[in-house]
Amino acid sequence: MNGTANQSSGNLVLDRRFAWAQAAAHEGAHEAAAEILEQILAEAPRWAAAWFALGEAREKAGDHPGAILAFQHLAAADPSGLLGADLHLARLGAGAAPERAPDAYVRGLFDTYAARFDAHLTGDLAYRAPQLLTQALRAACERRRQIFHFPRVIDLGCGTGLMARSLSPHFDEMHGVDLSPLMIEEARHTHLYASLHVGELVAFLQERPAQSAELVIAADVLVYLGALEATFAEAARVLTSGGLFGFSVQQGDAQGWVLGQDMRYFHSRAYLARLGATAGFEVISLDAASSRKDAGHDVPGLVAILRRA
C-alpha cells in the first residue's frame, strides 16, 4: 500500500484494531484479518486504507468475490486513485483496465520510497534500464555515424536521476520531469539537470516548444501508461528533425497494451512500431532486453530507439 495513504481512522481504538489486523495478515491469518477489518469498517466506512487491507486479505484468503467487493468500496472511498482501486479491479477481472495508472497512485508509490529507490532498484531488482538505453543510443549514433552527444535532452519520469548519471557527459543540458516531488528532490542532488519539474509527462511535453530537444528519453516510466498515443505524438513534436526518442517497456504478447498482475503495463512490439510510424518516427532499434528482475526472474522487456523524420 502507498505509504502516503491515510493509515489512521482518527479513532485510537480503531487504529489499534487495524494494527492487529495487519499483524494477523503478516502472520498469514488472512481470514482473521478480514474479520477484524470488517468490524472496523462497520464503524469507519470511509476509511480507504482499511478497504484496501480488506481487499488484500480477502484475495489472499481465496475469496475472489470478497476482494472485488472490498476494492469497489475502496474506489468510492478513494476517488483520487491513490491506492489504485481501478487497477486492482482490472487485475481481478472486475473492470476494464484504465488507460494509465492514476497520477496519485504513481506519485504516492514513488514518494514512499524515494530515499531508498536507487539501492532497491539497482540492488534487489537489478535495474539496468539507464545502462541499456545508453548502450542503445550509442549504437544508434554509431550506426548513423553521428556524434554520441545531445545538446538538449528531456528525461521523462526522471526519478532520482539515474538516467542522467548514465548518459553524462553526453549531453549539454537535460530537463527532467516526474510526478513525485520527493524523487525530484533526489534528482536535484545530482546537479546534472538544467531544470526539474513536478508533473505528468504528457502535460509537461505539451508545454515545451516544438523542436526544442535532440533526445527524449523514458527509462521504465511508460510501464505506468497503457495507451501511448499522446506520449508518442508529443515526443515527436518537441524533437528536432533527426532527434531520437529512447524508451524501455515491459514486453507483452497482446496486439496493443495490457495491465499486468504486477500493476504495470505491458506493450507489444507491433503496437510500438505502429505508434512510431503514425507519429512520424523511424524505428532504429526495438530489441528484446530485460531492464529489471521480479522475484529473481528477468521481466521481458523492449528497449527502443526511434528517430524523428
CB 163 within 8 A of CB 177: no
Question: What does the DSSP 8-state code read for residue 127?
Answer: -
pLDDT tens digits along 268-286 = 999 999 999 999 999 999 9
Q: In degrees rounded to 5, what are phi and psi of residue 220?
A: 55, 30
209-222: pLDDT as tens digits: 999 999 999 999 99
Nearest to 251 by CA among 231, 268, 276, 229: 268
Of 179-193, 230-244, 249-263, least confident by mean pLDDT is 249-263
> Which parts of the chain are beta strand (E)?
150-156, 171-178, 195-198, 213-218, 239-251, 257-259, 265-267, 281-288, 293-294, 297-298, 301-308
Per-residue pLDDT, averaged over 32-55, amounts to 97
Which architecture characterizes domain 12-96 according to CATH? Answer: Alpha Horseshoe (1.25)
Domain segments of the chain as ranges: 12-96, 117-308
- Give the pLDDT band (50/70/90) at residue 181: very high
For 117-308, CATH gives 3.40.50.150
Neighbouring C-beta atoms of residue 262, cutoff 10 Å: 13
pLDDT of residue 295: 76
Q: Which residues pair with 215 in a beta bridge?
A: 153, 244
Q: Which of 146, 178, 149, 151 is nearest to 162 (CA)?
A: 178
pLDDT in tens, 163-176: 999 999 999 999 99
Q: Among the listed ranges 34-38, 127-131, 191-195, 213-217, which one has the minimum average pLDDT value?
A: 127-131
The 3-class SS string of 96-117 reads CCCCECCHHHHHHHHHHCCCCH
pLDDT of residue 265: 97
Residue 5: pLDDT band with limits 50, 70, 90: low
Q: How many CA atoms lie within 13 A of 41 on its CB side?
A: 21
Identify which of 175, 239, 179, 184 has the alpha carbon closest to the alpha carbon of residue 203: 179
DSSP type of residue 123: I
pLDDT the model gives residue 2: 59
Mean pLDDT of 144-165: 96
pLDDT of residue 127: 83
Task: Kindly report the pTM of this predicted structure.
Answer: 0.92
Task: Report the 10 Å Cβ neighbour count for 25.
Answer: 22
Asked if pLDDT for residue 306 goes beyond 80, the answer is: yes
Q: Is residue 18 a contact partner of residue 7, using CB atoms and an 8 Å limit?
A: yes
